[in-house]
Amino acid sequence: MSDLERLLAGTADVIPHEELQRKLQLGRPLRVKLGIDPSRPDLHLGHAVVLRRLRQFQELGHVAVLIIGDFTGLVGDPSGQSETRPMLTPEEMESNAQTYLDQAGLVLDVERAEIRHNSEWLAKLSMEDVLRLTSIATVARMLERDDFQQRYRDGRHISVVEFLYPLMQGYDSVAVKADVEMGGTDQTFNLLMGRDVQRGYGQEPQVVFTMPLIEGTDGVRKMSKSYDNYVALTDPPEEMFGKLMSVPDELIDKYLVLCTGLEPEPGHPAERKRRMAREVVKLYHGANAARAAEDRFDQVFKHKEIPADISEVSVPAAAVRDGLVSLPHLLAGVGLAKSNTDARGLIKQGGVKVDGKPLTDPEATLTLAQLAGKVVQVGQRRMVRIAP
């Protein structure tokens, strides 16, 4: 397989296709740009699809230019958004960015990558610079975006600063002299705008290189923390394996190819899904952890056993009132729910058990004696034992 064939395998689109082939024959390393705003602290398998292809460029001798969008992230990418995002503070952006490189390093060779922050150049633009940048695009061009079109038709708010976002991302390409820019298919408009901006500043336009989006574990919407259908790169092995085993059968091969680079094999969906889950967990935690995660999954699901090594916790004092333990407060206090409100929702949905017995009353209370030594379980994978 040629270098070009390796790079093109599984891609969504390359624009223009012939330009990539020409650039690969220039006899010098290409500057391949990827920017991700650290608007949230966790990266997931959807991000890894693009990072893995960027790693392939690295392995072929090209320069991976990884841009941390600490300036564009203050605005928030409007791609796919039905309303204006709230602006993040610099403190929030810095906090999220702290873990970003460590997580990207699970896929990318960060030591060999060129790491940049776009505040290096965007924060220094004068009003004159901004006016020159905005003169490159028209309002009509911006309204070609599907998400802007829909919001405009529905009379929903579109901030002028959102029009600036693709221009700022395009200016990133000018600043780093990108030959290629990578992203998911939801980034196509922004990446094409980068070509326009580079032309406006007298540079040769970059090649737009997009990878498919992967649906989340719900099998419907794209993987996103917002939809709670994601598999984080830092998920513990057992949780990662369990999430992957919940993926709909029709997505098994897509996950295998895009998340591991392996080819599908014939067989029963259950076995193919196990292989996919093992291989993904192995990438981020190693072979031993993948085997242990599969064994634990079988304990809990296949053999309906409660693992002996589950965490033992005490009832938080805040969950006890007049000698009774509030079930929602207990779930939130031991980390099985994000909040009391979240806990009540989980209980109503029938997802909470105490010693195997479902509890559906969101205001349920139990005595300390009723809880001592018992297993409190949310869903199929999360459980703790209450200290006697």
Band (pLDDT 50/70/90 cuts) for residue 41 is low
Band (pLDDT 50/70/90 cuts) for residue 136 is very high
The three-state secondary structure class of 339 is coil
Q: What is the mean pLDDT of residues 77-84?
A: 48
Q: What is the pLDDT of residue 303?
A: 67
Domain annotation for the chain: domains and CATH numbers: 3-211 (3.40.50.620), 237-302 (no CATH), 312-386 (3.10.290.10)
Q: What is the pLDDT of residue 40?
A: 67
Q: 354 with 346: CB under 8 angstroms?
A: no
pLDDT of 77 over the 60 cut: no
pLDDT of 221 over the 70 cut: yes
Q: Which two tokens stand for residue 365?
A: 């209370």
Q: What percent of the chain has pLDDT over 90?
A: 57
Nearest of 10, 107, 108 to residue 63 by alpha carbon:
108
Q: What is the mean pLDDT of residues 327-345?
A: 91
Q: Which two tokens stand for residue 143?
A: 């309204």
Q: What percent of the chain has pLDDT over 70?
A: 94
Query: Which strands make up the sheet holding 13-15, listed edge to edge?
Result: 13-15, 207-211, 180-184, 31-36, 63-68, 114-117
pLDDT of 379 over the 90 cut: no
Q: What is the mean pLDDT of residues 213-221?
A: 92
Q: What is the pLDDT of residue 161?
A: 80
CA angle 181, 185, 188 (to 5 degrees): 55
